[in-house]
Structure formats: C-alpha cells, structure tokens
Structure 1
C-alpha cells in the first residue's frame, strides 16, 4: 500500500525499495552470519505431547457443536450461541450483562463499550477470556481457522473455540512461553531451548532445536524463520523444510541482551533489544549493516510500515526512521509519551489514515494514535500492562485481541463511527 502523501511530506522521502505492507509481525532484528552449516534443527515427532482432544483440534478447521458448558462464553455474547455463529457476528441485542461471582471463567460479558475520543471512532469491547495465570505472551488466530490460540508465561497454550468462546483445550508446554506467532496454517510457539510448531490443517508437528535459552521473539520471511533469544542471538531456520528436519541456516550475533522484537521488510530484518539498540540486517547475506543507538533505554518493539520503521522504548518515545539516499536509516521524527512503551501494533482504516496502537509500560492503557499526526484517538483499557496485541486474519469482522500481564485476554471489534457494520479484516 503506497504511503500517504501527507505522511511523505511530514517524514520526508523514503527509499525506493520493494513495496512493503504494514505488518503486525514486523519487528527489527540484526543478524551476523555465523556458521551456515552450524547445526541442524531437528523436528521431533511428536515434540508436543498432545492429548487426543488437542490432536483433533490440529486437524482441518471445523465448526464445534455447542455442549452447553458454562466454561467460557461466546466472543461477543453472554449467552450460549449457535455453533455456526462466527466471531463478532452478533447483534447488539445479543449482548447483555451477565453478572457472576469473581473468579469464574470467563469473566462476565459487559455491554459493549466504545473506547473513543474526538469523534474518530474506536473499538467495541466484546468479552474477556480468563484462564491464564500469568502474562499472555502471544496470541494467534490462523487464517481459515475457527480456533484462537493464546500462549502465556504460565507455560500453557489455551485453545478457544471461535463459535462458542469456550476454552476447549489446554496444552502444557513444559515451561515459560516467550512468544507465539502465526504464518499461514502454522502456529509457532517459542519456549526455552526450542521453537514448537504445528500445522492446524495437517496436524504435522515440528520441534526446532538449537536455542540455549528462552525464545523471546519470532518473525518469518521468504520461508525463513527468525527467532530472537534471551542471550542476544538471532537464529534462522529454513521453514517449512521439505523433510522432517528443518535446517538451521545461521546464527546472527551482535546484541548482548534479550532480543525481544523482530520485524522484516522486503530486504531487511530489524531487531530490537534490551541493550537499547536496533540492528539492521541484510536478508540476502544475513549480515548486520547498521546499528541504531538513539534510544536511551530498552527497545521494546519495532514495526515496519511501508518504507518506514517505527520503534518504541522504555525511554518514553516512539521513533520514526526512513532510509536516506545511501540506503541507511535516519531518524525522522520522535513522539514522546508520559510512560515508557511496551508494544506497537498497526492497522489500516479503509479509506482513512492508519492507526498506531501503543501499549504503555506499567500502565493498563493502550493508546490509539492517528498517523501521521500522532494525535490521540482514544484508549483501550486492561487490568495491567498489555504485553501482546493481535488482529484476526480472516472472517467478516475485524477483531482485535489484547493480552495483559495478569493473564487476561480481551476481544475487541473495530467499530468506526458512522459505519453500519464492521469493516472486513486485513487479508
């Protein structure tokens, strides 16, 4: 999607690389090739000791029959819903307050409310899904699936049915989950010393070995999976592999602390680290070509947007970077907040300017900012600091998911002012 003329005027001309779309998975990382043949990531079968019910869930997506269980409520309704009702396909009359004692699962579904300001529209709150005991570190809703997956530092992946909103299975990973992403039909879960992956369509399960510590961030580009580690390294695997063993292509060294955010553009990989730097890596040779050191505290999130790179930090700033004529990134704009920032996420509004969602550190708020003006549109609230944000990858509604440090998963629906129905999700 071409960048808007107003943003070009504000931030200056960008480079002329291949066009790139706003990607919620864009997170900077910096590689330094180390031993192209240094090891092989073995895919054990099965690496995840799944219960029979979970194995069935990893088959082709299908509608789940309503069992009348009180565990969980449909996304967007307080009452049991027909099996064919999709996420967000609920009339306002279907949503009502259903008070229940504290500690039940899920939490009472309140009348949807729209978090907005200045008449710019906002998000309607649909429901909160409870069950995780610690911070949610990843959310995944694969394309074509009616299942929502959430990973937590409590060591579990919960599987939620998209028709009823119920938690239909809990997968124990044997340790803290550092991150989770989706690519096509695959769900990737980063844990200590491995990346676990399963295909929701075929049921194939892989275990990518090689990490020496916790996997903190992941992204995938051109059949290459990159994983940022707690020891500062970035590992790269060829994925998916033609055989059961997936090849470890390279280890990118350079950061000296956790790599907690990765992003990719057409030709570059970006990595954000607790060492206060962003490293820029050439995807062709996996070499570090630039180190950005303008942030004064830990870099917590990086995001690629068209020909720009956005980064945020605990130094209370969001920075916008653009390529110079020489191809190196230069700082174009700095936006300041009253809090440090934890997570960046971007989405388009059809026919309008994009929205940047910024999770505030040590705060229960997610700030919605209009781009390129950085004017506040509103806020989303949570129990504690929001650790991860994700957008549904398909379906008739644009659903947003937020996971906080207390283990609460909230479901929101984009409800722009003046529109009669939700806009379609991004492809």
Structure 2
C-alpha cells in the first residue's frame, strides 16, 4: 500500500523536505550529532556557533582566551597537541566570554616612580630641596661665592642672610642700614648694592670694602676684568677699578645719559649694555667708556638685557622680547621681536 507523502516525511522516508531556518539562541546546541559510544567514547570538539550578521557585528571578532593573573596557570601543552579552543564556543550550553589579556609591562616603565625619580619629573633635572624662610620683604639678590659652603641672600627688608648650604639653616643675619637693591658674585667676592654704596665681601680672606660714590640706591651691577659697574636709581653708572686694597674706593668714572634708574647691565668682549626705566638701552665702549649707540625701539621700561657674541636680547614691560644683531655699519638693529600675543 503506498504511503502518503505526508506520512513518508514524518517517518523519514521519501523525498526530504528543506528544513525551516533555525532561530539563534545563546543556549542552542550544535546540530551536528555526537559520535556513538556514550560517555565512554571520545567526543569531537563542537564547532563555533553560527551567528547571524547583526549579532556577529555586536559581539565583534573572536579572540583567543589567555589566562588571567588570578587563575591557575595552565600546564604547557605537549608537542603536537591541539591549541586551546577559541573564545566564544559554547560550554555546557552557555557562551563563554573572552577574558582580558594581561600583558606584562617593561621593566623600565613605572606606574609610581621611585621617590628620587618622582622629585625630578618635570623639573629638567632640578630637585627641590627646601625653602629658606626668614626675610620679611622681597628678596632682591642671591649669591653663591666660589669655594664656599654658604649662600647669601639680600632683601629690601634691609638685611643679608647667610645660609648653610648643607643644612639649609640661617647662620647669620647682617643689617645693611638700608634696603638691598641687588647682589652679585664674582669669584670669592660678594657685592651688595645698597643706598649710596656697594659693599664688597671676600668670603675667603674676610676682607670687606665699601665702594663710595652712588647718590641713590644701587639697582644693578656687573663685573668684567678689573672693573666693577653699578647702575643707580638716578640714571648714572659708576665704575670702579677692582680689586683694590683701599677700604673706601671712589669711582674712577661715572657714565651719564640715562634719565631714570639703570636696572640691568650686561657685558660683552668690547661693550657694556645698560637698560633703564627710561625705555632705552645704551651701548658703551669699554675702552673709552663713552656711549656709542642708544636703542629706543621699546615702548616701556627695559627690564633686562643679555648679550652673547655680537647679539643682544632685551625684554621690556611693553610685553616684547627683542633680538638685536649688528648691521653692516656696525650698529645694533632689531632682527626679531617676540610679543606676548604670539604665545609662549
């Protein structure tokens, strides 16, 4: 008796009907039949789940599972053994999620650097040691003489403090009788600019000199071979032959030309440069001590000058820094101007 097509399809005989598309489920088992033999027989590894395109994009590419630091390290595989199953295969009917991969950092990288390294970070090699507290007003100069274990600081509070460089403690306080306008070091000498004089101390021999001549506060100083220059609040520059055995020395020359305080001095091989609150820079010949050029390009007080070779840098309260170079005629001219608006 012939079997109907419907009954034949149910019994598995007759022409096979195309299976309906399966719906994806994270709990679905593989449709590949397991080999016979029950629990005692070897089971073939199950293939990865086939995901629809939308789900595959959400889950991303499969990754190999590497052991985390909190789990027992797996035993090394024997030569020729199969590699571990990729992440994302079903295990006991559940999906396995890939674990984060922990990569060891190189020995030279520190999350928290040692103390000695941490203190130098961002300092360009400088290390903060301590704060020297004691002055009651602004500090106007610091000197570290050659071959000395002391540091000298001068202040507008009228005192010079002497600090031990090893302990950071103040070992002496010297009253100057007036505010300290500036302080510089030359070899073992410390020069202190105060109203109406420059005090010179030799830290090796103990010699003390008082250089007379200024009529007001000494605001700036510089030293070249055999000559000390001091800019004063009344616009003059005093020049002394130095060193000398005289206890009270008078200036050998007085350079005039500025209208207001001379607040910065700088020396090259043949020139002395002075800047002033009168907005100008003057160039002086060191042989004749005569002014050979006046630079008037700044629009406000020129607070500092710095020279090297035949070039000059100047900065001003007009918010500019100017670079000066020699022209063919031998005079300085502005080569470049950097304004604060350019960004720093």
Is residue 241–residue 247 contact of structure 1 (8 Å, CA) maintained in 2?
Answer: no
Report the counterpart of residue 187 of structure 1 in structure 2. 190
Is residue 209–residue 246 contact of structure 2 (8 Å, CA) maintained in 1?
Answer: no
- Secondary structure at 2:249 match in 1: coil
C-alpha RMSD of the superposition? 2.0
Is residue 183–residue 193 contact of structure 2 (8 Å, CA) maintained in 1?
Answer: yes
| Structure 2: unaligned runs, 5 residues or longer | 1-113
Cα deviation 1:257-304 (Å, max 9, x = unaligned): 010000000000000000000000000000000000011000001111
- Correspondence 1:350-389 to 2 at 5 A: none
Report the counterpart of residue 230 of structure 2 in structure 1. 227
- The number of aligned residues is 231
1:289 to 292, 307, 318: 292
1:202 to 200, 205, 212: 205
* Structure 2 Cα separation of the partners of residues 243 and 154 of structure 1: 29
For residue 322 of structure 1, report the CA deviation from its aligned partner.
1.1
Q: Which has the higher contact order (CA 8 A, sep 6+)?
A: 1
Change (3 A) 1:242 1:168: closer
Q: Which has the greater radius of gyration?
A: 2
Report the counterpart of residue 392 of structure 1 in structure 2. none
Give 4+ residue runs of structure 1 displaced > 6 Å after superposition: none
* Structure 2 Cα separation of the partners of residues 94 and 154 of structure 1: 36
Is residue 212–residue 250 contact of structure 2 (8 Å, CA) maintained in 1?
Answer: no
Matched, 1:269 2:272: yes
Is residue 270–residue 285 contact of structure 2 (8 Å, CA) maintained in 1?
Answer: yes
Is residue 210–residue 247 contact of structure 2 (8 Å, CA) maintained in 1?
Answer: no
1:217 to 220, 223, 232: 220
Is residue 238–residue 247 contact of structure 1 (8 Å, CA) maintained in 2?
Answer: no
For residue 375 of structure 1, report the CA deviation from its aligned partner.
8.9
Change (3 A) 1:227 1:251: same
Report the counterpart of residue 310 of structure 1 in structure 2. 313
| Structure 1: unaligned runs, 5 residues or longer | 1-91, 96-110, 339-373, 377-427
Is residue 140–residue 149 contact of structure 1 (8 Å, CA) maintained in 2?
Answer: yes
| TM norm structure 2 | 0.64
* Structure 2 Cα separation of the partners of residues 179 and 277 of structure 1: 20
* Structure 1 Cα separation of the partners of residues 241 and 296 of structure 2: 30
Would you tell me which structure has more strand in proportion to its own residues? Answer: 1
Report the counterpart of residue 175 of structure 1 in structure 2. 178
Is residue 277–residue 298 contact of structure 1 (8 Å, CA) maintained in 2?
Answer: yes
* Structure 1 Cα separation of the partners of residues 120 and 135 of structure 2: 24
| TM norm structure 1 | 0.52
* Structure 2 Cα separation of the partners of residues 150 and 306 of structure 1: 30
Matched, 1:135 2:127: no
1:112 to 119, 130, 133: 119
- Correspondence 1:229-248 to 2 at 5 A: 229-248=232-251
